[in-house]
Chain A
Amino acid sequence: MARKINEYIIESCIKLSGFLVIIFVFLIFLFLLKDSFSLFGVYPIGEFLFGRNWLPISEPPKFGIVPLLLGSVYVTVGAIIICVPMGIASAMFIAEVAPKSLKHVLKSLVELLASIPSIVLGFIGIVWLGPFLRNTLHLATGMCGLTGSLLLAFMALPTIISISEDALVAVPNTFKEAAYGLGATRWQTLWRIVLPSASSGIIAGVMLGIGRVIGETMVVMMVTGNSPVVPKSILQPLRTLTATIAGEMGETVSGSEHYFALFAVGLVLFIITFMINLIADISLRRARR
């Protein structure tokens, strides 16, 4: 009998833990939603979503999210252009070209990159990459979108490489053998047979990498110049959604309009990353099948 009670208590605890995981997501969403709606009670949602000015401490304040959204889009698109082709190419290299001994070294190096804290990369952006880009490209300042894009691309690479490599390795050997038997070269097999078969997994890796880029905060806060205006080019200072929250949250009074506006920005961020991760999850599941 005592054993039965024991068993019941433990099973309840286990079930409760699973339940807590749901509760956390629900609570995060609820807190974001509640405080966002506090903003939309006093500030029209249309002006928030389509306003072109983010002037939180002017009188009256303006909370137009467009410059921040564009800042995030510029930096993210820049990073994607760099890291997606590079990441997939190196995943192909590791999976199909590199000899076995080199493979291990390369994979460990990529893991090493994954473990470098983002704040350290941001620091390198300030002391080295920013000044370097300013001098080579003759910019007004090295603290601009491009510096952020380069560092974010670097940060997203481990995710893209390791998931794409897994997907490439998971392609059944029979596919390759059939292609070789028909006289295809290794490259033709890799390009026309292995790569298309692994596409679901690669898409998942790319989406997870993009999710990481959009959500990254400290690097963009440190190197993109903190300028909440609609950016004209990636070579200008700008500011992302994440950097706005990190930079302004400490200065706001909790319960003020500005505080609620930052939560609305957080909600937008939450929805964007949720969509991206959902797509990644669906692709991963398709890849496993």
Chain B
Amino acid sequence: MNAAKTYEKVAFFVLGLAMLLIVAPIIMTIAYIVKNGIGAISWEFITQAPRNGMKEGGIFPAIVGTILLIIGTMLFSLPLGILSAVYLVEYARDNLFTRLIKLSVVNLSGIPSIVYGMFGYTLFVLFLRLGTSILSGSLTLAIMSLPVIITAAKQALEAVPASFREISLSLGATKWQTVRYCVLPHAVPGILTGTVLSLSRAAGETAPILFTVAAFYLPRLPHSVFDQVMALPYHLYVISTQVPNMPMKLSFATGLVLVALVFLMNLVSAILRAHFRKKKQW
């Protein structure tokens, strides 16, 4: 018995050690970025365009570009994702069509981001002649975000008790009225949480925007959705690999702004989740 207890202690110690070996680098990574980047963060850095071949000035156009891409991605993926989830949960019968949709969602979630980039380039940039533009980039990122949004929306809809639907239907409401007024409102928190998370991932992606929207160096703001923009992740890629003698602190500061943006979105998602969980009535 004693031997078994000793054995248990050793085993738990090893598990804890593995955990520590993961947690320590996470904290170190974030601390490293913050420590090296915080010094270069200033009002000027956030609000001005880059100058002198990106070696001076700020990253304002890249911040604006990334925010525009997030908005564009949401405009396309949110309605499509919610409606698809509504179909799967509320309307679909167990037939070939439904199984194909489910298989497609699984497949979409596994496609590497660079393949989305290639696809966006051929379909939106070349075939539909949208050019390298905010529109092409948003559409590409939207398709990439779809599976996460559909899955989140599906779970949120499934969590709404069946009795809600039965009562609404028994009162003479149509199928759509039931979905619209009795099911969707209760699923909104779950859908929002999943959407913000998937958008934060889209904001940090580089590969899908490489050929569809990202501009190497464009120190002005876009005029229409057919313009190219700079974007934070691509800007970090460019200044850390393509620009010789780049001041390190500017690269770190760009990384810090990107990480801060993504963390902020995750925080919003977490707060939404906590807030709505408190209000839940069933």
Q: Does A278 contact B (CB under 8 A)?
A: yes
Q: Does A224 contact B (CB under 8 A)?
A: no
Q: Which of A180-210 contact B (CB under 8 A)?
A: 185-188, 191, 208
| Cβ 8 A contact of A246, one of B27, B104, B207 | B207
* Beyond known contacts A17-B83, A123-B255: 5 more, CB 8 A cutoff: A6-B176, A31-B118, A106-B19, A185-B5, A242-B207
User: Number of B interface residues, CB 8 Å?
Assistant: 83
Query: Does the CB pair A249–B211 fall under 8 Å?
Result: yes
Query: Does the CB pair A154–B25 fall under 8 Å?
Result: yes
Q: Does A89 contact B (CB under 8 A)?
A: yes
List A residues at the B interface (Cβ < 8 Å): 3, 6-7, 10-11, 13-22, 24-25, 27-28, 31-32, 35, 85-87, 89-90, 92-94, 97-98, 106, 109-113, 115-124, 126-128, 154, 157, 161, 185-188, 191, 208, 211, 214-218, 222, 242, 245-246, 249-250, 254, 262-263, 266, 269-270, 273-274, 276-278, 280-281
Question: How far is the CB of A241 from the nearest CB of chain B, in Å?
Answer: 9
* Cα–Cα, bound, A17→B259 (Å): 33
Query: Does the CB pair A273–B111 fall under 8 Å?
Result: yes
Query: Does the CB pair A113–B236 fall under 8 Å?
Result: no
Known: A28-B119, A89-B18, A217-B207. A17 touches B87 (CB 8 A): yes
7 residue pairs bridging A and B, Cβ less than 8 Å apart? A17-B80, A24-B146, A89-B15, A93-B12, A93-B18, A120-B259, A280-B110
Q: Does B248 contact A (CB under 8 A)?
A: yes
Flag B8-49 by CB within 8 Å of A: 1 or 0 each.
Answer: 100110111011011101110110110000000000000000
* Cα–Cα, bound, A201→B210 (Å): 35
In the complex, residue of chain B having the shortest beta-carbon distance to the beta carbon of A124 = B29
In the complex, residue of chain A having the shortest beta-carbon distance to the beta carbon of B106 = A281
| Cβ 8 A contact of A222, one of B205, B240, B262 | B240
Query: Does the CB pair A89–B117 fall under 8 Å?
Result: no
| Cβ 8 A contact of B104, one of A21, A121, A242 | A21
In the complex, residue of chain B having the shortest beta-carbon distance to the beta carbon of A34 = B122
Known: A21-B108, A106-B19. A123 touches B11 (CB 8 A): no
Known: A21-B105, A186-B8. A11 touches B176 (CB 8 A): yes
Known: A17-B87, A21-B101, A222-B237. A242 touches B15 (CB 8 A): no
Which of chain B's residues have a CB closer than 8 A to the CB of A22? 100-101, 104
List B residues at the A interface (Cβ < 8 Å): 4-5, 7-8, 11-12, 14-16, 18-19, 21-23, 25-27, 29-30, 32-33, 79-80, 83-84, 86-88, 91-92, 97-98, 100-101, 104-119, 121-123, 126, 143, 146, 150, 174-176, 200-201, 203-207, 210-211, 233-234, 236-237, 240-241, 248, 251, 255, 258-259, 262-263, 266
Which of chain A's residues have a CB closer than 8 A to the CB of B112? 214-217, 242, 269-270, 273
Known: A18-B92, A25-B107, A154-B25. A31 touches B146 (CB 8 A): no
Question: How far is the CB of A93 from the nearest CB of chain B, in Å?
Answer: 4
* Cα–Cα, bound, A6→B115 (Å): 39
Which of chain B's residues have a CB closer than 8 A to the CB of A222? 237, 240-241
| Cβ 8 A contact of B110, one of A20, A119, A274 | A274
Which of chain A's residues have a CB closer than 8 A to the CB of B16? 93, 97
